Amino acid sequence: MAIKELNRIRVVLAELNKKNKWLADKLGKNQATVSQWCNNARQPSVETLFEIAEVLDVNVRKLLVPSKIDE
């Protein structure tokens, strides 16, 4: 079964030259959990997604794969 990409956490981390471990430390989360989010194996809660956006100083929308192209 293919994993559906729902978030762009890994992409945004790469753009900012940050690592999973750094994000895990900032959020007080287990590095394995953050890795699962980055691989889209699991998804963070909405609340956690907003925390991630705050830590990375990005709009939360940047962390999500768009459901359709804006017109």
User: Could you give all domains of the chain from N- to C-terminal order, each with its CATH number?
Assistant: 9-63 (1.10.260.40)
Look at the block and give the residue holding tokens 């978030």. 7
Convert the pLDDT of each residue in 17-61 to its tens digit: 999 999 999 999 999 999 999 999 999 999 999 999 999 999 999
Look at the pTM and tell me if it is higher than 0.85: yes
pLDDT band at 69 (very low <50, low <70, confident <90, very high): low
Distance of CA 28 to the CA centre of its chain: 15
